[in-house]
Amino acid sequence: MKKVINDIIVVGAGASSLSFLHSLVNKVKPNEHFNIIVIDKDRDYGCGNAYKDDVSTNLLNTKAGYITIDKEQKGDFFNWLKKNESNWRSEFSDLEITVDSYLPRPLFGAYMRDKFDTLIKDSLAKNVRISTVKGEVVNVQKISNLKYTTHLSCGLKLESNVVILATGTSFLTKDVCKLNDNIFNSPYPLKKRIGQIDQNDSVLIIGARLSAIDTIVALKDNGHKGKITVHSRSSTFPCVRGTQDRYLNQFLNINYIEQNNIKINIENLKALFDKEMANYLKENSNVELANESFAIKNCVVGSFKEYLLNELEMASKPRPWQAILYDTNLILSYIWNLLADDERKLFMKSHLSHAMAMRVSIPELNARKLVNYIDEGNLEFISGSCVVETSAANEIKCTLNGNEQVYDKVIYATGSPRDLTHSDSILFRNLNDSEIIGNNEYGGISVCKNTFQVLTNNGHVNEGLFALGEITNGTHLFNSALDIIVSHSSKCSELVLSKISA
């Protein structure tokens, strides 16, 4: 019997996987034939961890009219909503949708699932066969430059010319979190967590980004009465998204930087931002804007309620710095890789938490809910050091800035660990042990910045092993936004096609 060697195996079936496949299929030439296998632990193909069928209070932080999996189809998600309303309206009966709505992430997940299913069907007409396998990938073994064996936990082994690691979010290991029945290494799925937490429990949420806010809102909207404490090591908390429209940067873009031979460092980036801000104000001189200056300190919380109220006031109008910041998404990797190592180290140490709080903003609706929870006396914000220990009696003791507190439940809402040795992924532990991958000092695994090929522990290029998404955050700094994922996936698909078509 002839052994089947697949052209491509994609590990993971979330946004990176879908956008890679979508881009690749659209680039396939009429005379080419490819066989692709997508492997994921769940059968929820297309949505990944971010957009799973979970509680409806998990909101997108991008307006419905701007988010899409297809960069050639602006407003694709919003158009899909109108065209397929009969398929989702019963589940979201009271939902009002406009291009400016911040909609439930599970609804976007339905869009992604439909796109995945449609892609599988449409790809056959282009001689591309996409098959799906439900299973957990535990290792990838390199046989030669363009020959790999993918190992599944069930014992199945699949061979291919190329492997794409598009694994999405991972969580902290049991050892790092000291997991037990009352300590969780992830908030998700929140439908499950809500059932595991008594409504009168005192809950400590470690982390203060979007997943922490998801957790707070989900618990409170489902009747939680106990005290909820959210912990931010850096004292920062996400900003609230303003009402501004999209803006195209005139100075913070590759063309301007290269044409003017601008050396990329933190000081020059600040100068470029100042020029951009002046231009934005000039172009919007007739618009009433938020009365604020661009300042990193805006994200540092003193009084939690005062911080949120100030953010809500600022977000009631267009916020120029947000418009400028969001338009840098597609040049972040370019800028990051031009910074000198000492500047990158400085940024990671002193600015990353503040920058993330500014970049990953929250909808006004969630900010107002948080203010209400504070007024009810059931939500507090703390910052600084935090050490979690479990006593012999299974009591959770947390030392916060030297003061010991006892909680009924602890939830880690810290996102993917930048250090993959702390990840709960069996796959990456095995890949680390075999040295087929190398850890990036700034987070995730090391990949070629332009080709997305994975680098070994010794810095050698794996010709047929590629990586996309959060596991490449050390190379690209930030790649959680969908427009970044789509851009990276498109570039990666071009090189993959060149490899398997040669």
- Residues 274, 275, 279, 280: is their CA dihedral positive or negative? negative
Q: Are residues 64 and 161 in the same domain?
A: yes
Q: Is the residue at 372 inside a domain?
A: no
Q: Is the residue at 424 inside a domain?
A: yes
The HSE-up count of residue 375 (CA atoms within 13 Å, CB side) is 9
CA distance 78 to 190: 25
Per the CB < 8 A criterion, the answer to whether 170 and 431 are in contact is: no
Q: Are residues 11 and 157 in the same domain?
A: yes
Q: Are residues 138 and 57 in the same domain?
A: yes
CA distance 313 to 324: 19
CA distance 288 to 395: 53
pLDDT of residue 399: 87
CATH code: domain of residue 394 = 3.50.50.60
Assign 5 a pLDDT band (cuts: 50, 70, 90). Answer: low
pLDDT tens by residue, 388-418: 888 767 788 888 888 888 999 999 999 888 8
pLDDT of residue 502: 66
Q: Are residues 46 and 135 in the same domain?
A: yes
CA nearest to 447, candidates 328, 333, 331, 330: 333
Per the CB < 8 A criterion, the answer to whether 410 and 215 are in contact is: no
pLDDT (average), residues 439-466: 94
Q: Are residues 24 and 126 in the same domain?
A: yes
Tokens 């604020």 appear where? 292
Q: What is this structure's pTM?
A: 0.94
CA nearest to 451, candidates 476, 431, 429: 476
The HSE-up count of residue 111 (CA atoms within 13 Å, CB side) is 25
Of 359, 374, 402, which residue is a domain's last? 359
Q: Are residues 213 and 126 in the same domain?
A: no
Q: Is the residue at 90 inside a domain?
A: yes
Q: Are residues 355 and 262 in the same domain?
A: yes
Q: Are residues 124 and 264 in the same domain?
A: no
Cis peptide before 189 (omega within 30 of 0): yes
Residue 6 has pLDDT above 90, yes or no: no
Beta bridge mates, 300: 236
Per the CB < 8 A criterion, the answer to whether 289 and 318 are in contact is: yes
Q: Is the residue at 379 inside a domain?
A: no
Of 370, 395, 412, which residue is a domain's last? 412
End-to-end CA distance of the chain: give it in Å, rounded: 26
Work out the mean pLDDT of the chain and round it to a whole number: 92
pLDDT of residue 295: 52
Encode burial over 122-160: b for 16+ CB neighbours within 10 A, e otherwise: ebeebebebebbebebbbbbbeeebebebbbeeeeebeb
Q: Is beta strand 409-412 parallel, antiparallel or unpaired with respect to 203-206?
A: parallel
Q: Is beta strand 157-165 parallel, antiparallel or unpaired with respect to 147-152?
A: antiparallel
Q: Is beta strand 453-455 parallel, antiparallel or unpaired with respect to 461-467?
A: antiparallel
pLDDT tens by residue, 293-328: 765 546 788 899 999 999 999 999 999 999 999 999
Per the CB < 8 A criterion, the answer to whether 246 and 323 are in contact is: yes
pLDDT tens by residue, 326-381: 999 999 999 999 999 999 999 999 889 989 999 999 999 999 999 999 999 999 99
Name the token pair of 208: 């203060």
Q: At what angle do helices 76-83 and 105-123 cross, to 10 degrees?
A: 90
Share of the chain above pLDDT 90, in %: 77
Q: Are residues 133 and 187 in the same domain?
A: no
CA dist 32 to 6, 47, 126, 208, 253, Å?
A: 14, 28, 8, 48, 36
Angle at 109 between CA 105 and CA 115, to 5 degrees: 145
347 sits in the region (left: phi over 0; alpha: psi -120 to 50; else beta) called: alpha
What's the domain count of the chain?
3
Q: Is the residue at 42 inside a domain?
A: yes
Q: Are residues 275 and 287 in the same domain?
A: yes
pLDDT tens by residue, 41-90: 988 898 888 899 999 999 999 999 999 998 888 899 999 999 999 999 99
Q: Are residues 319 and 200 in the same domain?
A: no
Give the domain range for residue 190: 174-233+384-412
Tokens 């439908």 appear where? 191
Per the CB < 8 A criterion, the answer to whether 211 and 57 are in contact is: no
CA distance 295 to 285: 21
Q: Is the residue at 374 inside a domain?
A: no
Per the CB < 8 A criterion, the answer to whether 472 and 168 are in contact is: no
pLDDT tens by residue, 193-226: 999 999 999 999 999 999 999 999 999 999 999 9
CA distance 125 to 49: 30
CA distance 226 to 379: 9
Q: Are residues 33 and 104 in the same domain?
A: yes
